[in-house]
Homo-oligomer: A and B are copies of this chain.
C-alpha cells in the first residue's frame, strides 16, 4: 500500500519540480522583456540620430547600446540556470532555436550600430535590423506561454505576451509616425499601416485584459486617463487627414516621438507589474503544491504506523479485495487507509484533468494567433500583399462566411498543406 503512496508522492514532487522549472522560465521571460525594451529604445533613438544633422543624441544612444548589451548578458546568464537545464527536451528544442535566431539578430547589430553612427544606413533598414531579434524574443515569450503547465501562470504569460506584442506594435507605430511627420505627409499606404497598427494593438490589449491579474488591469485602466493618450490620438488624426496636397509641419515628429515614447515606457511599467505577478504566482503555486506534499507525507507516516501496528497484532491490513470479496469482519483501519489511497489517486486524476481543461481554454487565444500568423504569411507569399492587406483578406473572408477568424485561418493553412502534398 505504501508503495502506491510512494508514487503519489513522486507525482507531487514532479509537479513541484515542474513548477520550479516554470519559475526559471518566468525569470528568463522577465529578462527577455527587459532586453526587448532596451532594444526598442535603442531602435527609436537610432532613428532620431539618423534623422538629425548633428551628433547631439549620440551620447544617449551610446548609453542605450550599453544597456542593451547588459540586458543581453543577463538573458544569456539565465539560460544557464540549472532548473532550465532540466526543462522538458521538446520545450528546449524550440526555446534554443528561438534563442539562436535572437543571437543571430543581435550579432548583426554590431555592424549596424557603427553604420547608424556614421549615418551610413537608412532608418527603414535600421528599424528592420532591430526588429528581427525583437521578434525572435517575442517568440520566446509565446513559447513559454504555450508550454507552461500551471493555468494561472499561463494566464499571466498570455497577458504578458500580448502586452509585449502590443508594445512592439506601438513601437512600430512610433517609427511609422516619425517617418510620415518628417516627410510632412502620409501616403494612403502609410495611413493604412497606421490604422492597421492601431487596430492590432487594440486586439493585443483586449486579450491582455482577458487574462491579466487584477493589479495589472487596474494599472492599465489608470493609464487610460493619462493626457498623452488624447494627444497621441490628435496627432494620429492629423496624420490620417494629411496628403501630398495637404501637408503638415514636419516639426510634429518631435512631439509624436516624445508622446509615443512616454506611452511605450508606460507599457513597460505594465509589463513589470505582470512579471512581478508571474513571480508571485509561481511562488504561490509552489507553496501550495509543497503543502499538499506535506499532507501526503503525513498520511504516509500514518500508513507506516498502521502497518507496523498491524504486523504486531497479526491483523491483515491493506488488502482491499480480501476485505471486500471475502466479506470478512470489518478491518476498519485498513479500509480507511485504502479509501484514502483510492481517493488520492482519483482526486489527483481529477485535478490533472481539470488542469488540462483549464490550460486548453487559456491556450485557445495562443492557438488563434498561431493560425492567423501562418495564414497571413501564406497570403503575403502567395498574393504578394503586405501584412495589413493579408489581415483584411482574412477578416473579410470570416465576415462573409460568418465563421471565426481562427477557423478561416486554419482551413486556409490546411488546404495549402494538402495542395502542396498533392
A residues sitting closer than 8 Å to B (CB atoms) are: 1, 3-8, 10-12, 14-15, 17-18, 21, 86, 88-97, 99-101, 103-104, 107-112, 114-115, 120-122, 125-126, 129, 149, 316, 318-326, 341-342, 344-345, 348-349, 352-353, 357, 374, 417
> Nearest-CB distance from A132 to chain B (Å)?
9
A110 touches B319 (CB 8 A): yes
Residues of B contacting A101 in the complex (Cβ-Cβ under 8 angstroms): 4, 345, 349
B326 touches A121 (CB 8 A): yes
CB contact between A321 and one of B14, B108, B320, B325 (< 8 Å): that residue: B108
B321 touches A112 (CB 8 A): yes
> Nearest-CB distance from A143 to chain B (Å)?
10
CB contact between A129 and one of B18, B121, B129, B321 (< 8 Å): that residue: B321
Oligomeric state, in copies = 2
CB contact between A89 and one of B149, B326, B345 (< 8 Å): that residue: B149
A14 touches B93 (CB 8 A): yes
CB contact between A325 and one of B5, B7, B121, B352 (< 8 Å): that residue: B121
Residues of B contacting A321 in the complex (Cβ-Cβ under 8 angstroms): 108-109, 111-112, 115, 121, 125, 129
A111 touches B11 (CB 8 A): no
Residues of B contacting A5 in the complex (Cβ-Cβ under 8 angstroms): 100
Complex Cα–Cα for A4 and B126 (A): 21
Nearest residue (CB) in B for A3 is B103
Complex Cα–Cα for A88 and B7 (A): 16
